[in-house]
A and B are shown apart, each in its own frame.
Chain A
Amino acid sequence: MKNNSEWTTVIKPKAGWFDINLKELWHYRDLIFMFLKRNFNSAYKQTVLGPLWFLISPLLSSATYTIVFGHIARISTDGVPQFLFYMCSNAAWGYFSACLSSTASTFTSNAYLFGKVYFPRLVSPVTTVIYGLLSFVIQMLLFTVCSVVLAARGQYIHPNIYMLYLPLMIAQMALLGLGVGIIISSVTTKYRDLTILIGFGLQLWMYATPVVYPISQVASIAPWFQRLIWLNPVAPIMNNFRYAILGCGSFNYTYWGISWIVTALFLFFGVLIFSRVEKTFMDTV
């Protein structure tokens, strides 16, 4: 028997619990790039407006929110111009939910590819996170343009020094989406129920998160209810994100800290389950 170190690859039955090879993932960075390019190119091929859809859809949905929640339901936005409030919330929530839902369907939607050829399975969730970030950045650029336009018409927002936290918040949204998504994806290889649940669940989750309303509005119902909402790990991110950009409400450290702990837990268990499932999921998918 020769020395084991000579071999480049040793394939064994089920690997250990924590077997995520980040070096290998880095080796496949070109694949991530190609997947991004594929997603981008194929999304808007044979469309008249092409990548303009990146701009049109957030504008339209923000306008809808403004009419439905702002004008009809008359939900307060803490004095922030309604359109900008919804646009900002929408971009953040959109990023989180995109990360979660596309990660959740990683195994099932890529089964045809995963079943044929090996590459680190984490490539595809990472791709979706980066792709989501791309459209998030575009939306935030659009947001900047809109806020300049509205400022010229006397409607101001108050971005502040807390914006330095933004990268941390964006990263947290991605990690939380990734963590929860991975757990769901690992379970969906066997149980398809969760695939159906996910669209529905995300919608419910959105209403449990201060997306279309500021968290201050919840306080008027009951203090315990507000605490409950705060415990939703996305709520403090959303609140602090809006505080940094719009200057409404207040910055909350306590619940944000809890939210980070929850994120870390989800990510930990997610990666744990993922490394167990990725080797043999093809047998059950």
Chain B
Amino acid sequence: MNPVLSTVRSNSTDETVIEIDGVKKQYRLGTIGGGTLKGDLQSWWARVRGKEDPNSKVDAKMYTKNEKFMALNGVSFTVKKGETIGLIGGNGAGKSTLLKLLSRVTAPTEGEIRIKGRISSMLEVGTGFHPELTGRENIYLNGAILGMKRREVDERIEDIIEFSECRKFIDTPVKRYSSGMFVKLAFSVAAHLNSDIMLMDEVLAVGDMAFQKKCIDKMVSVARDEGKTIIYVSHNMQTIRQLCSRSIVLRKGEVIFDGDVERGIDIYLRNDEVTAKLFNDYTDCHRFNFLTDKVLMDSLEVLDKDRCYYTDGEKVKFRLKMHCNEDVSELSLRFMIHNADQVVIATGACYNFTGCKKGESFEHTFELDITPLASGVYKVLPALFELNELGEVIDCDGVYPGLVFEHAKTTPLNWKSKLYGDVTLTDIVCLD
């Protein structure tokens, strides 16, 4: 996986608050121990005498007792103060395990985590609420569980009640609450925590839309205005987009991507399974049958680069090898550029660059200026075509994706393609 420049938001500082260093977490597969003392003693006694374990299952081939499962397999990254990080990954990728390690619910098998400042987790909303206690009592209880002093809760209780929208019921036992109220109250407590680093696991998945929005706004302001660091786990990409300034994608216990949120989400959604290659061989590619096949492309090779990664001002230079099946007088090339959502967003062309005779093999070198493209990963459909007398396009050949590249463009605006689009126009000029 290519490393990518991470977008640094203005509010994050250089101070590192979390350092995760080669962390591994191992679980044993199958049932742990015999479950009963007797079973374990039996197994132990059998081992001592060198006999077969009477408790080993006959068909226990799938999980032998010592088979290990690495929930996290060497995860390392650092987090700076004020960053909001979205942890993305499929089920079993190790997100929750990582949060558990960070919140000290369990210890890593290997590696070390160093934390600066107070850390608190909102792993599941309402953990530690007691149904018999009133809303107000539960605020104190939950605050204490999350590590707040009584005095600290006193200072915040008005804000918490106000935010929760439960003032009317605050002195009613929470067992009488609707689930929505329960969640609102629980979130309010957690959102007003006096900690430097907050861990959140799917907490916003509950509550009505209006409240969810309120929660996200609150978290954004907590991160931006109070300089808190947030690590957020969710399967809801929309909330990750809204909240996070950086994403870390986990797969099978390893970090496969660390950086820009949109890219992270794309990778998680497996939108760029086709990796960026320098040499793209087209000989065995599937072609559409409406193509004339008069001229076919053999390969596309990226020049002057060691990977398909372009920064400001760099141009895509490539060599295209072709062979001719039928005479063509004027051949043109166009580059149709698609974004990660497979939507075509721009096209560049080179008109009438050559003609060819049947049986000929030839190559040309081209250069494409991609300055207008915003940061992101793009897939190109290169196509060879002719223009007939009426100006109509007749396609000879086309391959998709014929080239995958990444463009990193710095803009004063923290460019989010989902918000602003994939093309950056030249700056507006102020005329006065």
**B-binding residues in A (CB < 8 A):** 2, 4, 6-15, 28, 30-31, 33-35, 37-38, 41-42, 45-46, 112-119, 190-194, 279-280, 282-284
Q: Is B207 an interface residue (CB 8 A)?
A: no
Q: Is B145 an interface residue (CB 8 A)?
A: yes
Q: Is the CB of A116 within 8 A of B36?
A: no
Minimum CB–CB distance from B127 to chain A (whole Å) comes to 4
Q: Is the CB of B114 within 8 A of A7?
A: yes
- Given A117-B127, A118-B103: A13 and B150 interface contact (C-beta under 8 Å): no
Q: Is the CB of A282 within 8 A of B40?
A: no
- Given A193-B37, A280-B107, A284-B33: A11 and B113 interface contact (C-beta under 8 Å): yes
- Nearest opposing residue in chain A for B108, CB measure: A13
Which residue of A9, A35, A113, A193 contacts B36 across the interface (Cβ within 8 Å)? A193
Minimum CB–CB distance from B268 to chain A (whole Å) comes to 25
Residues of B within 8 A of A280 (CB): 106-107
Q: Is the CB of B107 within 8 A of A41?
A: no
In the complex the two chains form, what is the Cα distance from A119 to B119 in whole Å? 11
Residues of B within 8 A of A115 (CB): 105
Q: Is B171 an interface residue (CB 8 A)?
A: no
A-B contact pairs, 16 of them (CB 8 A): A8-B116, A11-B107, A30-B148, A30-B150, A33-B144, A33-B150, A37-B137, A41-B132, A42-B132, A42-B133, A45-B173, A114-B105, A118-B104, A118-B105, A190-B32, A191-B35
In the complex the two chains form, what is the Cα distance from A34 to B141 in whole Å? 6
Q: Is the CB of A8 within 8 A of B117?
A: yes
In the complex the two chains form, what is the Cα distance from A259 to B411 in whole Å? 75
Residues of B within 8 A of A38 (CB): 130, 133, 137, 141
Residues of A within 8 A of B104 (CB): 9, 11, 118
Q: Is B38 an interface residue (CB 8 A)?
A: yes
Q: Is the CB of B147 within 8 A of A8?
A: no
Minimum CB–CB distance from A221 to chain B (whole Å) comes to 33
Q: Is the CB of A193 within 8 A of B132?
A: no
In the complex the two chains form, what is the Cα distance from A2 to B15 in whole Å? 11
B side interface size, CB within 8 A: 50
Q: Is the CB of B111 within 8 A of A13?
A: yes
Which residue of B37, B115, B128, B144 contacts A10 across the interface (Cβ within 8 Å)? B115
- Given A11-B101, A279-B106: A191 and B127 interface contact (C-beta under 8 Å): no
- Nearest opposing residue in chain B for A2, CB measure: B16
Q: Is B100 an interface residue (CB 8 A)?
A: yes
Residues of A within 8 A of B107 (CB): 11-15, 279-280
Q: Is the CB of A117 within 8 A of B105?
A: yes
- Given A192-B35, A192-B36, A283-B27: A113 and B127 interface contact (C-beta under 8 Å): yes
Interface-centre pick from A13, A115, A280 (highest chain B CB count, 10 A): A13
Identify 16 new A-B residue pairs, CB closer than 8 A, beyond the known A7-B19, A118-B121: A2-B16, A11-B114, A11-B115, A13-B109, A28-B147, A34-B141, A37-B137, A38-B133, A42-B130, A117-B120, A119-B147, A190-B32, A193-B37, A279-B106, A280-B107, A284-B33
Q: Is B123 an interface residue (CB 8 A)?
A: yes
- Nearest opposing residue in chain B for A31, CB measure: B144
Q: Is B149 an interface residue (CB 8 A)?
A: yes
Which residue of B16, B38, B124, B132 contacts A116 across the interface (Cβ within 8 Å)? B124
In the complex the two chains form, what is the Cα distance from A54 to B327 in whole Å? 103
- Nearest opposing residue in chain B for A41, CB measure: B133
In the complex the two chains form, what is the Cα distance from A10 to B147 in whole Å? 17
Q: Is the CB of B37 within 8 A of A191?
A: yes
- Nearest opposing residue in chain A for B141, CB measure: A34
Q: Is B118 an interface residue (CB 8 A)?
A: yes
Q: Which 6 A-B pairs have the closest CB atoms?
A: A118-B104, A279-B107, A11-B113, A31-B144, A42-B132, A34-B144
- Nearest opposing residue in chain A for B150, CB measure: A30
Minimum CB–CB distance from A216 to chain B (whole Å) comes to 38
In the complex the two chains form, what is the Cα distance from A35 to B138 in whole Å? 11
- Given A7-B115, A8-B118, A191-B37: A119 and B145 interface contact (C-beta under 8 Å): yes
In the complex the two chains form, what is the Cα distance from A282 to B147 in whole Å? 20
Q: Which of B308-357 contact A (CB under 8 A)?
A: none
Q: Which of B79-109 contact A (CB under 8 A)?
A: 100-109
Q: Is the CB of B103 within 8 A of A117?
A: yes
In the complex the two chains form, what is the Cα distance from A15 to B102 in whole Å? 16
Q: Is B146 an interface residue (CB 8 A)?
A: yes
In the complex the two chains form, what is the Cα distance from A88 to B115 in whole Å? 51
Q: Is B112 an interface residue (CB 8 A)?
A: yes
Q: Is B110 an interface residue (CB 8 A)?
A: yes
Minimum CB–CB distance from A121 to chain B (whole Å) comes to 10
Q: Is B140 an interface residue (CB 8 A)?
A: yes
Residues of B within 8 A of A45 (CB): 132, 173
In the complex the two chains form, what is the Cα distance from A6 to B15 in whole Å? 11
- Nearest opposing residue in chain B for A43, CB measure: B132
- Nearest opposing residue in chain A for B138, CB measure: A38
Q: Is the CB of A117 within 8 A of B121?
A: yes
Residues of A within 8 A of B111 (CB): 13
In the complex the two chains form, what is the Cα distance from A45 to B131 in whole Å? 11
Residues of B within 8 A of A279 (CB): 106-107
